[in-house]
Structure 1
């Protein structure tokens, strides 16, 4: 078997494949992509400079996809910063998936248990909002991998146990920032009486299936077109664009490395202008990318 610099050709090919899939690589911190344990810098109170009269639909804000997906190897991991650090870095949209079993709500990404329960989400959010009352947090809440889809009762129970009922925005209507400062806006992606806004009322682009890295360009086209639509679209509606994606031959971090770079370049070309891009939800975002998104307000 021939070799290059002492590495058997088969071994070198395997190493290249591991790098391509995001296996075995050390953590990196770049302006657009960060899978280290902490952001480069924090920006915990950026909403303080936005007028109370501004509707949430007109705010450009960064978010994270599968916010609590820290475990499950490269197949399932979508974030590397704790929830508290995400919020303090400037993230204002959370994507939370709960599994209902015997009244308990555990955090899952598909079949991957994330070693946390819904209370481990509510407590840091409530603490953050008490510490920074100028801010608001939007949370998509979705049933995932449950025995039953009837999660309304357990969700209400967890809110009473781990947060403050009065910290919630209790309406389907899109509020102004002044109405929701210090509050959690639940974007309800499950059946039952209203806890907040309905997730499906948003204008959403979530082309998450990226079969291989050869399909990244198609994914970026979906992201780009929806961001362009959000920029000029109905100001009375909230736009939500997921830059995240995955497939059997395209793991979340591998897709994020490529899409985040294109997103950074796209936004950088428009930096310094006031733009409404809505919510941009990402895997492994970096602090400079979050700051750039915030800067359009």
Structure 2
């Protein structure tokens, strides 16, 4: 069965929901690895650790967190680099294939829960930006992202959102550069232009702003090539990033956790002007995918393997003081987001 989707910049949904759901279900049934299938029927209490994130196919429960205005209580002179920011990796990858899926709630729900760092991945296709995770089109587009972010900021003007904007997959059928298309969204598109001109923080080289400078704004981190500066560039000297994402198998989760924990420790004691990023997310290399090493099993664990989310929740509970920087998670739980928000006030 083939479902053909044409990515466009409008908010039109081009696949019938029932057809797309059937396609995803059939794909999952045919390709779902054995450890993931086992996790679906395992009693959560039987998983070592047994925390709120255990069980690969259980929902995150993120909608139970409610922190829509948490930045309002912080002083204006607080630097964004000084904060602990709940974040989502591949923010828009909800209801994707088992190999690409990284979230189970939509962007507005994430923002209301308290997420303030997002990871937006845009393919440059036919002079617009459909949202992708690798080669997979996520049935949404940059216009949707802009509308949802700016709607939230208009309702909650004390908040700011840090957005890593990344060029994803292979550009095709374009008549202009990625930078030119981004400028079209900012200056010319009647739907996104007024919103972005109002809500984009005006970049100042690689400097991250204070919260007072950025309230009501989107702070872009550039993950694309451009002559113009739209925000701090991903991976420059002012950033410290942990993003080891390719594992050799489900047993490699231990190594990933060692890297996550070390980054937590560095952020807690590091220079206040350095913007720390810690990815809890990972997946298997191509060979490991057949063993069940996919984002959901790495995040939530399977019988015999404690997932990264449970480990992170336990670590943060045991170490309640200290900045974390931006924590980019697959399927973050309400408990994880609440704990990260609370650290900013201790």
For the aligned pair, the TM-score class normalised by the smaller chain equals: 0.7 to 0.9
Structure 1 match to 2:271: 234
Cα contact 1:22–1:251 (8 A) shared by 2: no
Supply the distance in 2 between the matched residues of 1:22 and 1:203 (Cα, whole angstroms).
Answer: 36
Cα contact 2:129–2:141 (8 A) shared by 1: yes
Of 237, 243, 258, the match for 2:280: 243
Structure 2 match to 1:268: 317
Aligned-residue RMSD, C-alpha? 2.3
Deviation per residue, 1:230-272 (Å, 9 max, x gap): 110111110000000001131101000100000000000023x
Matched, 1:170 2:217: no
**Does the residue aligned with 2:327 lie in a helix, a strand or coil?**
strand
Moved over 4 A (4+): none
Supply the distance in 1 between the matched residues of 2:94 and 2:186 (Cα, whole angstroms).
Answer: 23
Q: What pairs up with 1:246-257 in 2 under 5 angstroms?
A: 246-247=283-284, 248=289, 249=291, 250-257=293-300
Structure 1 match to 2:335: 288
Displacement of 1:199 in angstroms is 1.7
Displacement of 1:31 in angstroms is 3.6
What 5-or-longer segments of structure 2 have no aligned partner? Answer: 1-28, 45-50, 301-306
TM-score (norm. length: structure 1)? 0.88
Supply the distance in 2 between the matched residues of 1:294 and 1:100 (Cα, whole angstroms).
Answer: 34
Supply the distance in 2 between the matched residues of 1:123 and 1:285 (Cα, whole angstroms).
Answer: 23
Cα contact 1:32–1:287 (8 A) shared by 2: no
Q: What pairs up with 1:5-154 in 2 under 5 angstroms?
A: 18=33, 20-21=35-36, 25=40, 31-32=52-53, 35=59, 39-147=63-171, 150-154=177-181
Displacement of 1:24 in angstroms is 8.0
Number of residue equivalences:
279
Aligned in 2, Cα 1:241/1:38: closer, same or farther, shift over 3 Å?
closer
Displacement of 1:134 in angstroms is 0.6
Deviation per residue, 1:100-149 (Å, 9 max, x gap): 11201100001111001111111100010010001000000111112269
Aligned in 2, Cα 1:152/1:277: closer, same or farther, shift over 3 Å?
same
Q: Which moved more, 1:165-174 or 1:141-150?
A: 141-150
**Does the residue aligned with 1:262 lie in a helix, a strand or coil?**
helix
Aligned in 2, Cα 1:284/1:174: closer, same or farther, shift over 3 Å?
same
Supply the distance in 2 between the matched residues of 1:62 and 1:211 (Cα, whole angstroms).
Answer: 27
**Does the residue aligned with 1:187 lie in a helix, a strand or coil?**
strand
TM-score (norm. length: structure 2)? 0.76
Structure 2 match to 1:5: none
Deviation per residue, 1:170-219 (Å, 9 max, x gap): 22322110000000000011111111221222211000012211100000
Matched, 1:198 2:233: yes
Cα contact 2:60–2:334 (8 A) shared by 1: no
Cα contact 1:32–1:289 (8 A) shared by 2: no
Structure 1 match to 2:20: none
Supply the distance in 2 between the matched residues of 1:22 and 1:135 (Cα, whole angstroms).
Answer: 40
